Structure 1
Amino acid sequence: MDLSQSKYFLPNCLRLVVVGSEQVRWEKVALWQKYVGQHIKLLNAYGPTEATITATIYEPDLRKTENQTGGVPIGCPIANTQVYILDKNLQPVPVGVVGELYIGGNGVARGYLNRPELTQERFIDNPFNYVETLYITSPKLYKLGI
């Protein structure tokens, strides 16, 4: 939706908008702030299908969008979810170092139906608690110090 076109309006009862699926850019958040303001909360949700769609949430500070560029962070894990950014040895990466995102918790699938090879490739035992499975996501990320 292009909010800059006056033919669109948002209902007065709208209090929360959650965006996901595609990466959210700071430039779009700045446009949201310009045309909508701060009275409607905006959240960025991230999660693959294998983690029941939403695994993390980030709430951008709508007062500080002016000089931000690039992608909005994916945020922190939702309840009963764990996320890890790990290196090739399954060790946590330091802040600012790129790693692969692994997701664990109650919402993570046990695998793919009738696809044991793919399940073995994309799901591993959690090396930190040995009770749950972690899903190996595709994106390479780096850990922010927040």
Structure 2
Amino acid sequence: MILIFAMAALGQSPEQPARKDETVDRGREIVTQPAKDIGAAKTEIPVILERAQENPYGLSGLKSCAQIKAATTELDSVLGPDFAVGNNKKENRPGRLAEAGGKTIVNTIIPFRGLVREISGAAPAERRLASAIDAGFARRGFLRGTALARRCPGSKN
């Protein structure tokens, strides 16, 4: 049933491959959520985000614009594209409906889901990942600001 909701969102036009990939990824997340909730599937924190947590505002080893650009690109590969001003993409309504339906079903599969997530360690692992992602966003913003202040080629506000 969950797969049906996830797959329903795939009825998008071929000129929107990024949206289709995003929908497939969300569908995969929804389907695997029960395994994560009971601790059968572990949430891994990418190494780049662990390093960002240690020192999000450090410039050690980043002397040149090329090094700053490489560090920013590495974060982009884990966090996805950075915020773009004027990027008003149209919302994928069928995908959002499928996601909401899938999450509703997943939430009914495991009774006392919140308690199960705390006991299994899934909730604390998710909080650690969210904290690492926040540090990654802070680091990327810091690096972009540093590149802008140094007037590195390609940096823009």
Q: Shorter-chain-normalised TM-score: which range?
A: under 0.3
Q: Give the number of the structure whose residues are more often helix, by fraction.
A: 2
- Normalising by structure 1, we get a TM-score of 0.24
Q: Give the number of the structure whose residues are more often strand, by fraction.
A: 1
- Bigger Cα Rg: 2
